Structure 1
Amino acid sequence: MPQLPDPIAALGAVLVAPMAGGPSTPALVVAAARAGAVAQLAGGYLTADALRAQIDEVRAAGVEAFGVNLFVPNPHPIAAADYEAYARRIRPDAGEALPPLREDDDAWAEKLALVVEARVPVVSCTFGLPDAAALAALSAAGSAVLQTVTSAEEARAAEAAGVDGLVMQGWAAGGHSGVWAQGALPAEVPLEALVARVRAATPLPIVAAGGVARREQVRALLAGGADAVAIGTAALRAHEAGTGATHRAALTDPAFERTALTRAFTGRPARALVNAFLERHDAQAPAGYPAIHHLTRPMRAAAAAAGDASRLHLWAGEGWREAREAPIAEILADLTP
């Protein structure tokens, strides 16, 4: 079976996925490394300076085997009329003072230059495929490049582009889906079946991710062709995670009974606990990332600060009930075969 690029190959079967917006912290990366696992800093939404500070903090702790995840520019543009209609739907009292439609590339060039300069050992890419120049720069810096894919077709394209390995993300994953095409949803296929499809399509190493919360799932995925497994939601309640208090509380609140894939919060499919905002607006939510993300961000920040889980993006995978409060070392030990 193909081996994952170093340094992942030497550090165990269970990795910690990057979780943008707060949960992934230098402390989480350092603690995971000391437990023998690779974890990643989440570059999404950070400034380049903030990401540099986090990289420096990890290295100051003596950790060299770590990764950084970047959002690749792959906007899902939205028509101005559709943006305004959704903005007025979720902010009916805004009058004429609607936020202007905003598109950006999450400071891709600056963050790419940073990870190249810093020679980050593992760089994972999400939302789309980097161009040839970006991949060449990362290769020259000695970085192993992992590409998030959601189908065999995306996996073949990533292999042709020259990436070093794949993160096969299933539909049960919490937070944003890495699906590339606008308007598409990840196929509702068990992760083991997706791994088998991708293994048949490419010899590249595979990290399986999405809804993994139990040791038997890890065993089955490794037996079924994955080279490693990544956990995300299972780490949200780790002591070292930066998950906000409102989000942490929701993960244990029996009032939340299910998750759903929705564009309501960001305009890109993401799995979250079903709350009042999702129920009210999911059916009308347009595809439009990052414009819808910027539109709802102030509301979500205010909800988090106020402890209002009804308007917050409560990212969670299908295994959210298995997440527990514990040091990440214990969580990893419980999951590692």
Structure 2
Amino acid sequence: MAKAWPDNRIQELLDIELPIIQAPMAGSVLSKMAIAVSEAGGLGSLPCALLRIDQIRHEYDLIRQKTAKPVNLNFFCHQSPVIDPDRENRWRKRLKSYYTEFGIDPSGPVPTSSRAPFDADLCALVEELRPEVVSFHFGLPDQKLLARVKATGAKVLSSATTVEEAVWLEREGCDAIIAQGAEAGGHRGNFLSHDMATQVGTMALVPQVVDAVKIPAIAAGGIADARGIVAALVLGASAVQLGTAYLFCPEAEISPLYQQALRNGKDNNTAITNVFTGRPARGIVNRLVREAGPLSAETPEFPLAGGALMPLRAKAEPTGVADFTSLWSGQAASLGRELPAGELTRLLAEEMRNKMSAFHS
């Protein structure tokens, strides 16, 4: 079957049938999605950045009960933040009017927003679980940890938002590059460049990454149907990574508010914003993005900005208001289809085959 694709290096590298990878999407995906996509022949992914070690172990156990096919565990590689009281105070001051509006004490304590960066404890867990694929966001862990991951036999992927980042990742030992275009939903994977004004679109980024590195490239960002997949493959990608398209599946762990926002998604109602976590990410524009962002110099360092939003979310969401909720989405949400994840994966592959056949005839 692999001969049907223009470049089957990703299928061979990751031992998967289809060149389709489900994006990890921390907070929106658990074992059910990963199982369904892997069983359908793609690569299912379990995002680990928001999970404790015992939760990761539990979800991985569930995966292994239902599929023996390859799966990907995904981790963040950001630096643990240094708390800056001045920035914290500026952010609290910026949010004060919302606190007052919702009857919350602006001077009261706020929860801490945490996302664990990949460290020795998580590395030991990878050594214990031995997943077939480990992917990273925001670069790579230090060389000693990376060497331990590779020693398990896991194939290593990471995201690049520029050619410079792709070349760096190849040099540091990645097995494949996820070329993340600016259209992609969720957090930007940038780690060498921090200028959001110069972020590159998928169609421009993919062929330049393909030309710059010898390892396979995976296209990500704004791809939601067979047309986008075929376009990415023609540009030289060996596979695609889809995120927002999978959020329409019943396996997605998202709220009804989030589901409705995605159903209303348009090409021009997302923005790259840092107001939810302190780090740029593409999401659906809501009140907070409009009034405090999209990009604010007042947010605390990633991921601390989210803590002060928790009391606001707790008040607003039960009333059906998503004004302070991160609604991560790429620019092609309107192409989403509400199908089970396995069915969607197989359908995308079939539609892609048909388009490739027409393309070659």
TM over 0.5: yes
Is 1:13 the counterpart of 2:25? The answer is: no
**Whole-Å Cα distance in 1 between the matches of residues 37 and 318 of structure 2?**
28
Which whole-Å CA distance do the structure 2 matches of 1:237 and 1:185 have between them?
27
Q: Which residue of 1 aligns with 2:248?
A: 237
Provide the residue aligned with 2:284 in structure 1.
Answer: 273
Q: Where does residue 306 of structure 2 map in the other structure?
A: 293
Flag the structure with larger Rg.
Answer: 2
Q: Deviations over 1:284-329 (max 9, x none)?
A: 3546201113332443455445432222111110001111211112
Q: 1:189 Cα shift? A: 3.0
Q: Does 1:154 align with 2:165?
A: yes
User: Deviation digits for residues 88-107 of structure 1, max 9, x if unmatched?
Assistant: 21134444335388777446
Give the partner amino acid of 1:269.
P
Contact 1:271-1:317 within 8 A present in 2 as well: yes
Q: 1:301 to 1:16 in 2, by over 3 A?
A: farther
The letter for the 1-side match of 2:24 is P
Deviates more, 1:49-58 or 1:276-285: 276-285
Residue 35 of structure 1 is aligned with which of 32, 40, 45? 40
> Given the alignment of the two structures, is residue 261 of structure 1 paired with residue 283 of structure 2, yes or no?
no
1:311 corresponds to 2:324: yes
SS of 2:110's partner is coil
Tell me the SS of whatever aligns to 1:83: helix
Structure 1 position 2, deviation (Å) = 7.7
Q: Is the CA contact (8 Å cut-off) linking 1:48 and 1:107 kept in structure 2?
A: no
In 2, the alpha carbon distance for the partners of 1:6 and 1:116 equals 23
Change (3 A) 1:328 1:302: farther
Answer yes or no: is 1:322 the counterpart of 2:358.
Answer: no
DSSP 3-state at the match of 2:123:
helix
**Unaligned runs of at least 5 residues, structure 1:** none
Using structure 2 for the length normalisation, give the TM-score: 0.85
Query: Residues 150 and 186 of structure 1 are in contact (CA less than 8 Å); yes or no, is this contact kept in structure 2?
Result: no
Task: Letter of the 1:308 partner, please give it.
Answer: V
State the distance in 2 between where 1:83 and 1:234 align. 35
1:177 and 1:186 in contact (8 A); partners too: no
Are positions 1:134 and 2:117 aligned together? no
- Which amino acid letter does the alignment assign opposite residue 258 of structure 1? N
Q: In 1, Cα distance between the equivalents of 2:63 and 2:112?
A: 36
Q: Is 1:211 aligned to 2:211, yes or no?
A: no
Verify the 8 A CA contact 2:10 2:19 in the aligned structure 1. no
Unaligned runs of 5+ in 2: 1-6, 353-361
CA contact (8 A) 2:11 2:19 kept: no
Distance 2:193 2:162 in 1: 15
Question: Which amino acid in 2 is paired with 1:293?
Answer: G
Question: Which runs of at least 4 in structure 1 moved beyond 6 Å after TM superposition?
Answer: 100-104
- Structure 1 residues 254, 229: closer, same or farther in 2, change over 3 A? closer
Q: What amino acid maps onto 1:252 in structure 2? A: R
1:115 aligns with 2:121: no
Q: Percent identity?
A: 32
Q: 1:46 aligns with which of 47, 51, 64?
A: 51
Change (3 A) 1:111 1:298: farther
TM-score (norm 1): 0.91
- Partner SS state of residue 219, structure 1: helix
Structure 1 CA distance for aligned equivalents of residues 177 and 314 of structure 2: 32
Worse-matched range after superposition: 295-304 or 283-292:
295-304
Structure 1, 199-208 or 5-14: larger mean CA deviation: 5-14
Paired with 1:129 and 1:111, the residues of 2 have a C-alpha distance of 14
Asked if structure 2 preserves the Cα contact closer than 8 Å seen for 1:18 and 1:24, the reply is yes
For residue 135 of structure 1, report the CA deviation from its aligned partner.
1.2
Q: Report the count of equivalent residues.
A: 336
